[in-house]
Structure 1
Amino acid sequence: MLKKLLALSMLALAALSTHQTAMAHGGGQAKHGGVVATASDLTFELVASPDGAMIYVEDHGKPMAPTGLKGKLTVLNGAEKSEAELMVAGDKLEARGLKLAKGAKVVAALMTPNAKAITVRFTVK
């Protein structure tokens, strides 16, 4: 019994020592005080604003102009649902007329210029 337990322990240790952790591509810390999520090899940061929300986009840790991106932001706060169009505003996307409350679930449904759909999910902290 002891030999069997020792053999299993050694096998588990060997498996753990060769295990490689998968890292999320492009993940990182919030640079604008928001919530970060990754999708389609890009990093998105959702930031609340007084009149809605902003999304900053990064590619491999470098800011990416959202030129040509369009879509919709949906906010689920308990049973309450609100939506707004995302529009390019300089170096970010903006959605107006939304309120991001703590704990709200937010979904950004985006379309790239070459018609690729990207869905990004956030939880407001």
Structure 2
Amino acid sequence: MKFSKVVALAALVSVGPAFAADKHDHAHEHESMHGGVVVEVKDLDLELVAKPEVIQLHLRDHGKPVDVANGSAKLTLLSGANKQDVELKPAGDRLEAKGSFKVGAGTKLVAVVTLPGKPSTTARFTLK
């Protein structure tokens, strides 16, 4: 990958969390229910649980689980100089991928979530 593309991608990823973490005056809290990182996008709470062997994405709409049976997500992981693209598929009440993932503190992830009948949602996460 050319250096200019890496710089452009890094700039895009670093700006995104500012928008996703914007303050909102909602009555509900955006708490982790599965030990992951939570962001709110378009009134959806997206909770990302990223482990070296599994990545899960839980979706909630005003605290209620979202039906992901016909949904999917494409995830891009950026860890240091490493980039990995992952496709998440329905697994019960969440979207999930199993495999080997380079995740750890500081890993940045961009998820594009597709649900039937709704426009795609993009969320950005930074692991702690």
Q: How does 1:64-103 map to 2 (within 5 A)?
A: 64-97=66-99, 98-103=101-106
Offset at residue 116 of structure 1 (A): 1.1
CA contact (8 A) 1:53 1:100 kept: no
Unaligned runs of 5+ in 2: 1-22
Unaligned runs of 5+ in 1: 1-20
| Paired AA for residue 122 in structure 2 | T
Normalised by the size of structure 2, how large is the TM-score? 0.73
SS state at 1:55 partner: strand
Runs of 4+ displaced beyond 4 Å: 24-27
Offset at residue 113 of structure 1 (A): 0.9
Normalised by the size of structure 1, how large is the TM-score? 0.74
Report the RMSD for the aligned CA atoms in angstroms. Answer: 2.0
Q: Higher mean Cα deviation, 30-39 or 45-54?
A: 45-54
| Paired AA for residue 119 in structure 2 | K
Larger radius of gyration: 1
SS state at 1:99 partner: coil
CA contact (8 A) 1:27 1:43 kept: no
CA contact (8 A) 1:71 1:87 kept: yes
